Amino acid sequence: MKRPPRDPEEKLFSMVLVTRSLAQGCLAFAAIGGLYLAGLLHGLEHDTLRTMTFTALVATIMALVFASRAFSASLRHAFVRNNKTFRYVAMFIVGGTLIILTVPFVRDTLKFVPLSVMDLLAACLAGAIVLIGCELIKGRASALSRH
Protein backbone atom coordinates (compact mmCIF):
# COMPACT_ATOMS: atom_id res chain seq x y z
CA MET A 1 0.00 0.00 0.00
CA LYS A 2 1.88 2.99 -1.30
CA ARG A 3 -0.92 5.50 -0.88
CA PRO A 4 -1.78 6.95 2.54
CA PRO A 5 -5.26 6.25 3.93
CA ARG A 6 -8.10 8.67 3.32
CA ASP A 7 -8.45 11.43 5.89
CA PRO A 8 -11.34 10.38 8.21
CA GLU A 9 -12.72 13.93 8.03
CA GLU A 10 -12.86 13.80 4.22
CA LYS A 11 -16.18 12.99 2.59
CA LEU A 12 -16.42 9.43 1.31
CA PHE A 13 -18.01 10.58 -1.96
CA SER A 14 -16.74 13.96 -3.07
CA MET A 15 -18.64 16.01 -5.62
CA VAL A 16 -15.80 15.47 -8.11
CA LEU A 17 -16.04 11.68 -7.67
CA VAL A 18 -19.83 11.64 -8.03
CA THR A 19 -19.73 13.92 -11.08
CA ARG A 20 -16.97 11.88 -12.71
CA SER A 21 -18.83 8.62 -12.05
CA LEU A 22 -22.06 10.00 -13.52
CA ALA A 23 -20.19 11.25 -16.58
CA GLN A 24 -18.54 7.87 -17.07
CA GLY A 25 -21.87 6.06 -16.72
CA CYS A 26 -23.52 8.41 -19.22
CA LEU A 27 -20.63 7.86 -21.62
CA ALA A 28 -20.99 4.07 -21.33
CA PHE A 29 -24.75 4.32 -21.86
CA ALA A 30 -24.23 6.55 -24.91
CA ALA A 31 -21.65 4.17 -26.42
CA ILE A 32 -23.81 1.07 -26.01
CA GLY A 33 -27.02 2.89 -26.94
CA GLY A 34 -25.32 4.43 -29.97
CA LEU A 35 -24.12 1.03 -31.11
CA TYR A 36 -27.61 -0.40 -30.69
CA LEU A 37 -29.26 2.47 -32.60
CA ALA A 38 -26.66 2.30 -35.38
CA GLY A 39 -27.34 -1.42 -35.70
CA LEU A 40 -31.09 -0.78 -35.91
CA LEU A 41 -30.58 1.89 -38.57
CA HIS A 42 -28.36 -0.44 -40.59
CA GLY A 43 -31.00 -3.17 -40.47
CA LEU A 44 -29.10 -5.71 -38.39
CA GLU A 45 -31.03 -8.78 -37.32
CA HIS A 46 -32.25 -8.64 -33.71
CA ASP A 47 -30.16 -11.67 -32.72
CA THR A 48 -27.01 -10.06 -34.13
CA LEU A 49 -27.88 -6.80 -32.43
CA ARG A 50 -28.45 -8.59 -29.11
CA THR A 51 -25.08 -10.33 -29.38
CA MET A 52 -23.25 -7.14 -30.32
CA THR A 53 -24.88 -5.20 -27.49
CA PHE A 54 -23.93 -7.87 -24.96
CA THR A 55 -20.32 -7.87 -26.22
CA ALA A 56 -20.21 -4.07 -26.12
CA LEU A 57 -21.58 -4.13 -22.58
CA VAL A 58 -18.82 -6.49 -21.44
CA ALA A 59 -16.15 -4.38 -23.22
CA THR A 60 -17.56 -1.20 -21.71
CA ILE A 61 -17.64 -2.63 -18.18
CA MET A 62 -14.02 -3.72 -18.59
CA ALA A 63 -13.17 -0.19 -19.76
CA LEU A 64 -14.89 1.32 -16.72
CA VAL A 65 -12.99 -1.03 -14.42
CA PHE A 66 -9.67 -0.07 -16.05
CA ALA A 67 -10.51 3.61 -15.76
CA SER A 68 -11.55 3.23 -12.12
CA ARG A 69 -8.37 1.37 -11.24
CA ALA A 70 -6.37 4.45 -12.07
CA PHE A 71 -8.24 7.46 -10.68
CA SER A 72 -5.02 9.34 -10.16
CA ALA A 73 -2.52 7.31 -12.16
CA SER A 74 -2.14 7.18 -15.90
CA LEU A 75 -3.91 4.55 -17.94
CA ARG A 76 -0.55 3.06 -18.91
CA HIS A 77 0.21 2.59 -15.21
CA ALA A 78 -3.13 0.81 -14.71
CA PHE A 79 -2.25 -1.71 -17.44
CA VAL A 80 1.20 -2.55 -16.10
CA ARG A 81 0.42 -2.42 -12.37
CA ASN A 82 1.16 -5.77 -10.77
CA ASN A 83 -2.23 -6.99 -9.59
CA LYS A 84 -2.67 -10.74 -9.95
CA THR A 85 -6.30 -10.75 -8.81
CA PHE A 86 -7.30 -8.21 -11.41
CA ARG A 87 -5.52 -10.17 -14.13
CA TYR A 88 -7.32 -13.38 -13.13
CA VAL A 89 -10.70 -11.65 -13.04
CA ALA A 90 -10.06 -10.03 -16.44
CA MET A 91 -9.00 -13.37 -17.92
CA PHE A 92 -12.12 -15.02 -16.45
CA ILE A 93 -14.37 -12.34 -17.97
CA VAL A 94 -12.69 -12.52 -21.38
CA GLY A 95 -12.73 -16.34 -21.29
CA GLY A 96 -16.36 -16.43 -20.22
CA THR A 97 -17.33 -14.02 -22.97
CA LEU A 98 -15.48 -16.12 -25.53
CA ILE A 99 -17.30 -19.23 -24.33
CA ILE A 100 -20.64 -17.44 -24.56
CA LEU A 101 -19.87 -16.23 -28.09
CA THR A 102 -18.37 -19.45 -29.47
CA VAL A 103 -19.92 -22.49 -27.76
CA PRO A 104 -23.12 -23.24 -29.71
CA PHE A 105 -25.14 -24.58 -26.75
CA VAL A 106 -24.39 -21.55 -24.58
CA ARG A 107 -24.79 -19.11 -27.48
CA ASP A 108 -28.13 -20.65 -28.50
CA THR A 109 -29.41 -20.63 -24.91
CA LEU A 110 -28.92 -16.85 -24.84
CA LYS A 111 -30.31 -16.49 -28.38
CA PHE A 112 -27.00 -15.08 -29.57
CA VAL A 113 -25.52 -15.62 -33.02
CA PRO A 114 -21.94 -15.78 -34.31
CA LEU A 115 -20.63 -12.27 -34.94
CA SER A 116 -18.72 -11.23 -38.03
CA VAL A 117 -15.28 -9.74 -37.48
CA MET A 118 -16.65 -6.26 -38.21
CA ASP A 119 -19.52 -6.69 -35.72
CA LEU A 120 -17.10 -7.88 -33.06
CA LEU A 121 -14.76 -4.96 -33.74
CA ALA A 122 -17.67 -2.51 -33.54
CA ALA A 123 -18.67 -3.93 -30.15
CA CYS A 124 -15.10 -3.74 -28.86
CA LEU A 125 -14.78 -0.21 -30.23
CA ALA A 126 -17.55 0.85 -27.83
CA GLY A 127 -15.32 -0.25 -24.95
CA ALA A 128 -12.32 1.57 -26.41
CA ILE A 129 -14.34 4.76 -26.83
CA VAL A 130 -15.47 4.55 -23.21
CA LEU A 131 -11.90 3.95 -22.01
CA ILE A 132 -10.59 6.97 -23.92
CA GLY A 133 -13.56 9.07 -22.86
CA CYS A 134 -13.04 8.14 -19.21
CA GLU A 135 -9.42 9.21 -19.44
CA LEU A 136 -10.52 12.56 -20.85
CA ILE A 137 -13.12 12.92 -18.09
CA LYS A 138 -10.51 12.02 -15.49
CA GLY A 139 -8.16 14.66 -16.84
CA ARG A 140 -10.92 17.28 -16.84
CA ALA A 141 -12.02 16.34 -13.29
CA SER A 142 -8.42 16.56 -12.05
CA ALA A 143 -8.08 20.03 -13.58
CA LEU A 144 -11.35 21.16 -11.96
CA SER A 145 -10.44 19.77 -8.53
CA ARG A 146 -7.22 21.79 -8.50
CA HIS A 147 -9.10 25.06 -8.98
Per-residue DSSP letters for 98-145?
Answer: HHHHH-HHHHHHTT--PPPHHHHHHHHHHHHHHHHHHHHHHHHHHHHH
> Taking the domains of the chain in order of start, what are their residue ranges?
15-146
130 pLDDT more than 90: yes
In order of 36, 39, 99, 101, 124, the CA distances from 104 in angstroms are 23, 23, 9, 8, 21
Categorize the per-residue pLDDT at 147 as very low, low, confident or very high, splitting at 50, 70 and 90: low
Q: What is the pLDDT of residue 95?
A: 96
The highest-confidence range among 75-79, 84-88, 113-117, by mean pLDDT, is 113-117
